[in-house]
Structure 1
Amino acid sequence: MAHSATDPRDADKATTAPGTPAPHPLDPLTAEEITVARAVLSDEGLVGDTTRFPLVLLDEPDRHTVAAHRPGDPVVRRVRVTLLDTATGAGTEAVVDVTARTLLARRDLDPAADGQPPVLFEEYERCDEIVKADPGWRKAMAERGITDTALAVCAPLAAGNFGRAEETGRRMLRSLTFLRCEASDNPFAHPVGGLVADVDLTERRVVRLVDTGAVPVPAECGRYEAEFNGPARTDLKPLEIRQPDGPSFALDGHRLTWQNWSLRLDFNAREGLVLHELSVRDGDRVRPVLHRASLAEMAVPYADPGADRNWICYLDVGEYTLGRNANALRLGCDCLGEILYVDAVVPDDHGVPQTLPNAICIHEEDHGLLWKHTNMFDDFAAESRRSRRLVVSYIATLGNYDYGFYWYLYQDGGIEFEVKATGLVQTSASAPGTVSPYATEVAPGLQAPYHQHLFCARLDPAVDGHANTVEEVDVVPLPMGPDNPNGNAFTIRATPVTDSGEAGRPADPAAGRRWRITNPSVRNRTGQPVAYTLTPQPSGPTLLARPGSPVAARVAYATKHLWITRSAADRRFPDGDYPNQHPGGAGVTAWARPGESLENTALTLWHCFGPTHLPRLEDWPVMPVDRCGFTLRPTGFFDRNPTLDLPRESGGGGHCHASGA
């Protein structure tokens, strides 16, 4: 993982460049703003040699401030900073006005009530060092016949919260151990079974060692690189994607435009890619659709009930800062076509800005048929158009897993979000040939435990304005009778979700359930409210950990497929601001108590989706992508098909318009 080579003390001497134009209120934080925030906190005596910066995020202005902004208007920029003293474990939250260079507010964090700040990158290496220096761990390894630990990997894994009094207030990680045959070997092929070290990062010691007994370490290597899996196929001919006149999109600063779409790009250390102010041009009107869209959390709970594994549940956004783990994308490997890459700027552990090169990829791609009709009454004349979509994406690596996050915009006004999960499955060891009810044996003695990926998208709708209402729409078959003599009739049942006490909604594939986001004050030409419809694709199980369990308390957002809450400045993440070691109860479940009206107001939708992964042999040693996501499609938003003005395209040596039998 990249670290800045800059001396953090130099950051306190920097100032913003004179004459820097006022940014848009929702632009990503600049290196200068991060530097100023650090300098202000240093001047206030809040930064010392052991101070670290787990989070530095834009304190986003409210919708009304953003809506009122005009180009050239002065902008007040505020930054929300979380500090951690690694010597004491004390945490502090501060808000800095980087425009006025002023500290606006600060408060001390209570780790028992607030939770811990996210894991620092430097704590990964620290955890490895602490575990390897522990006499108990070294003795357990020796009892397994492992005395050379130079190639051992002690994985830094989020500790969760299991109500143990001795862990309250401690800043902790739990560490599994893996081995490598050589420095470049895949450690997940060689898990050391039955051994977990609980690490206090502040005291820098192992406070608890779980040893359930030695298990043979799987010996077979899991190499996936080309040189270990040749010879390569020779029958794959080149596939070229060319746009000789360049792409059809344009990026002006952070404003991206394409095919009637307009949006603002943002990237932060916690969520990664964020899209703001998505709007679509409809004739001479620019019509808003979404105020904000991001992936706000992702939980990965595992199913193994054994004492060495029953605690594993990662929260990759809130615990590991997803955005900081973004890849530097490469043409031809991660992205294909006429590509525009965008760098991202995030703070390192010391609060010093660092650039993540090629973090965001923007390109167009063909998406097959958009619409077609062959007129059998006119000598079989055919008319068709191909679909093209804009792709805005990035990829992040969290330990063993790699995740690609893709926002798609379509010419017909549709929006799609897709996650592609790939990388390496988490592994455990067993006696070869063991059949586990909780895992798949993917190599001799190598188990891949069952688990879930429970993503949560934050969607702040603005469908033709900020006053929206959500209707839950089911398809309902009607009973047979005089009005339905042949039993073929079915209709829809649209139920408005009007109170916060009804905010948590399950999906229902049997009823074709979807959620229609309407603007009751704006009507289409048939007199119905304009709307966009959120459709899950597909709707898999919600959290399978049992109600009352520690995981269910901390990942409560994943107990429903959708939560609908009123928008508020302090409602940023579905599991609260500091889910690391939090006992649970923060976030959407706290906001879903009865009494708040959800009608005709500014809303946030929290959509949970994702696969329950039962690993296959084909997922080892590296898994093909597993896809999941959702769509947002205009539903009476336009008065007719908005793509009738698309030109006929030619491609592949022919035209897509033909007539004749």
Structure 2
Amino acid sequence: MAPGQIPFDNNPFEPLKPEEIETAYEILTTEYDLGEESLCIKIELSEPPKDALKADDGANKHPDRRARIVVRNSSDRKTIEAVVSLNEQSVVYWEHIEGVQPSIAIEEFIACEETVKANEEWQEALQRRGVENTDRGMVDPWSAGYDFIPKDIDRSKRLAHGLTYLRPSEDAGDEGYARPVSGLHVFVDLDCMEVVKVTDYGPPDEDEPFPPEGMAYREGEVELRDDLTAYNINQPDGPSWSVDGHKLEWQGWQMHVGWTQREGLVLHNISYEDDDEIRSVIDRASCAEMSVPYGEQSINDRFKNAMDVGEYNIGRLAKSLTNGCDCLGYMHYWDAVMNTADGEVNVVDNAICLHEEDNGTLWERSDWRTESSEVRRRRRLVVSFVAAVGNYDYVFNWYFYQDASMEVEVRLTGINNVSAIGPDEDPGGYGELVAPQLNAPIHQHFFNFRLDMNVDDGPNTLYRVENQPIPTGPGDLNPLEKADERTLNPGGNAFYAKQEKLTREKEAQDLIDPLKGRYWKVVNPKKKNRLGKPTGYRLMPGGNVEAAMQPDSPVMERSGFIKNHLWVTPFHEDEKFPAGNYPNQHPGGDGLPAWTQENRNIEEEDLVLWYTLGVNHVTRPEDWPVLSAQVYSFKLQPVNFFEKSPAIDVPPQHAIENQDVPSHGNCEMNSDDD
């Protein structure tokens, strides 16, 4: 080991340790002058390329351990990318990336609010609304986008769009979201932390500039129901998983748990052990981008479109999870090790939570002839994190099941984004009243999940599968008639699962069609099960929604990935983010829409599936003041991957708990009666 080199675990995707972050930044600042007032946007693992991993496969060594660093030189208005080799203790890559803006750092959000609140025009705007103590104002800096930046502002500047809310008192928390200061817009140059423009369209009603009601939801602020009894999860023998550093094993599943500031939770090398063989399923999985466009026509709302992954670094917004609140039962946590804008170490304790939970029936068989019954409970493993993005909170759950299927789930909660309207105004479908004079605009959430597939070590091929009905006839309804042709449908009932091989990128651009039962199947044509079928996994969509924006809208230009629910590309090391590497203030057209113009081959390739999960949110008063979790998901299921059900060997509950089998079956009955 070279002098000063930091040891790391055998997992090449192990997130950077605190000492590695410190060392990487020290090496960078020693070799290069970053300039005055520079911000260290991120320091994270520079993941080794696949070719390097394959070259070292079987050898007792690993690729060079490297850190990728993004710096914003505020004084020179430059964005710098650098890669530091921790093995060689040197900078191996340094480049000024022209014309891009990196994601906004938390420290910039904080400084932006302070800058706005010190501005006299902003203070005067609040005073015109009858607010004497302007310290009650709170400012949420939004990403400025591109097309909605005022024409008299230089779009090459690093900008934030400040929206103002009024707190009940100077020291109150986020109760300010109940009183938006509608009509007031502030644009801030983040590089020099100066207000460049204040626009005030005025309140919706001069006599009543603010909605009349506040909000209460915290413990101690509301009267709690008293008829709920305790519910405890008990695992006296400990959990069923095995954790070694960031390597996780559970019920046949194996994976490495990773983290980036941009994506948050990242899962590497997802595989399944089958008869002592470790079979690969996915090389890398994460939520790679988000887009949250609003549908309001009002000048105060129509610009809203947050890209929370690429513009805000959703991993940096992760919260520390707590037992009994975010998770129940026996827990294991991983910390998220990141950096501050000064290049120092920032650790979010317990950012990733691991636990098991009961999930109802796995399978059941009752035979009325023998009066026998076999029942198995379904248990699932949960790997999750929660990000607090301004007023919204997002819960990302990755579920793994005992039948070798997995599910990706997002839960949306927190506080709805709202604007004030006049006493007699009606949003008319572009929003909904959630309280008097408080409008929650209609909006959508799109989450794009990048799934770098690798079924049985590839290469893989993709099929679209959907129901295909057969026209009625010929023949009659004689039930004893033998139909030799698949085109026969005398009873009008025949249909089959049509499988269409998709061989080019543009063929694979698709929307869900639940009316046809559409799903997509990734297979390895070189690996067959005992029935001669290629092994595979299928992507089963759940609830989803089509983007409601016009094709030529700024939203569709900047978030082009929302045009389709499914995109498929051949793997390329540089194609990690569906809206491009730098979506902040980008005019659009980057990412998936640009890459797929070449219409590359996707047959027998290293395939990457990009699945866009859409949520339509028409609000209601029941969503206020805090939104009950809205739950959306999709699933991945094995198809011809196994010889038979992989869940057949799950033991019954009494065998797990060492209980005697009760006379009525293999499940113990509980009763309130003595």
TM exceeds 0.5?
yes
Corresponding residue to 1:345 among 337, 351, 355 = 337
Answer yes or no: is 1:312 the counterpart of 2:317: no
Answer yes or no: is 1:552 the counterpart of 2:556: yes
Shift of 1:143: 2.0
Deviations 1:338-367 (A, max 9, x none): 111111211111222221101111111111
One-letter amino acid of the structure 1 residue matched with residue 116 of structure 2: V
Change (3 A) 1:446 1:396: same
Answer yes or no: is 1:397 the counterpart of 2:397: no
Contact 2:127 2:134 in 1 (8 A): no
Deviations 1:457-488 (A, max 9, x none): 01001110131111111111111112101110
Partner of 1:139: 124
One-letter amino acid of the structure 2 residue matched with residue 557 of structure 1: F
Change (3 A) 1:19 1:423: closer
Change (3 A) 1:657 1:391: farther
Deviations 1:397-449 (A, max 9, x none): 00000111100100100010111111100010011342103111111111111
Q: TM-score normalized by structure 2?
A: 0.92
CA distance in 1, matches of 2:628, 2:9: 45
CA distance in 1, matches of 2:602, 2:244: 36
Partner of 1:510: 515
Contact 1:648 1:656 in 2 (8 A): no
Corresponding residue to 1:37 among 2, 6, 24 = 24
Change (3 A) 1:293 1:197: same
CA distance in 2, matches of 1:90, 1:567: 30
Partner of 2:37: 50
Change (3 A) 1:33 1:23: farther
Shift of 1:16: 8.4
CA distance in 2, matches of 1:654, 1:434: 66
One-letter amino acid of the structure 1 residue matched with residue 565 of structure 2: H
Contact 1:362 1:392 in 2 (8 A): yes
CA distance in 2, matches of 1:520, 1:22: 35
Contact 2:185 2:200 in 1 (8 A): yes
Change (3 A) 1:571 1:411: same
CA distance in 2, matches of 1:200, 1:654: 70
Corresponding residue to 2:111 among 114, 118, 126 = 126
Change (3 A) 1:659 1:74: closer
Shift of 1:506: 1.2
Change (3 A) 1:22 1:624: closer
Change (3 A) 1:370 1:445: same
CA distance in 2, matches of 1:19, 1:450: 50
**1:517-556 paired onto structure 2 within 5 Å:** 517-541=522-546, 543-556=547-560
Corresponding residue to 1:448 among 440, 443, 454 = 440
One-letter amino acid of the structure 1 residue matched with residue 69 of structure 2: V
Shift of 1:605: 0.8
Corresponding residue to 2:454 among 462, 469, 473 = 462
CA distance in 2, matches of 1:238, 1:95: 51
Identity %: 38
CA distance in 2, matches of 1:262, 1:238: 34
Contact 2:74 2:192 in 1 (8 A): no
Change (3 A) 1:594 1:356: same
Deviations 1:247-269 (A, max 9, x none): 00010111100111110010111
Deviations 1:142-161 (A, max 9, x none): 22222321110111111001
Contact 1:610 1:629 in 2 (8 A): no
CA distance in 2, matches of 1:435, 1:424: 21
Partner of 1:106: 94
Corresponding residue to 2:202 among 203, 208, 213 = 213
Corresponding residue to 1:381 among 372, 377, 384 = 372
Corresponding residue to 2:421 among 427, 430, 453 = 430
Partner of 1:11: none
One-letter amino acid of the structure 2 residue matched with residue 370 of structure 1: L
CA distance in 1, matches of 2:167, 2:81: 40
Partner of 2:582: 578
Partner of 1:197: 186
**1:258-297 paired onto structure 2 within 5 Å:** 258-297=250-289
Secondary structure of 1:32's aligned partner: helix
CA distance in 2, matches of 1:506, 1:552: 16
Equivalent pairs counted in the alignment come to: 640
RMSD: 1.9
Secondary structure of 1:330's aligned partner: coil
Contact 2:12 2:62 in 1 (8 A): no
Partner of 2:406: 415
Corresponding residue to 2:71 among 83, 103, 110 = 83
CA distance in 1, matches of 2:166, 2:248: 46
Shift of 1:87: 2.6
Partner of 1:4: none
CA distance in 1, matches of 2:196, 2:339: 31
Secondary structure of 2:325's aligned partner: coil
One-letter amino acid of the structure 2 residue matched with residue 211 of structure 1: D
Q: TM-score normalized by structure 1?
A: 0.93
Partner of 1:328: 320
Gaps of 5+ in 2: 475-487, 667-674
CA distance in 2, matches of 1:655, 1:408: 30
Secondary structure of 1:421's aligned partner: strand
Secondary structure of 1:606's aligned partner: strand
Contact 1:382 1:657 in 2 (8 A): no
CA distance in 2, matches of 1:658, 1:600: 53
Gaps of 5+ in 1: 1-14
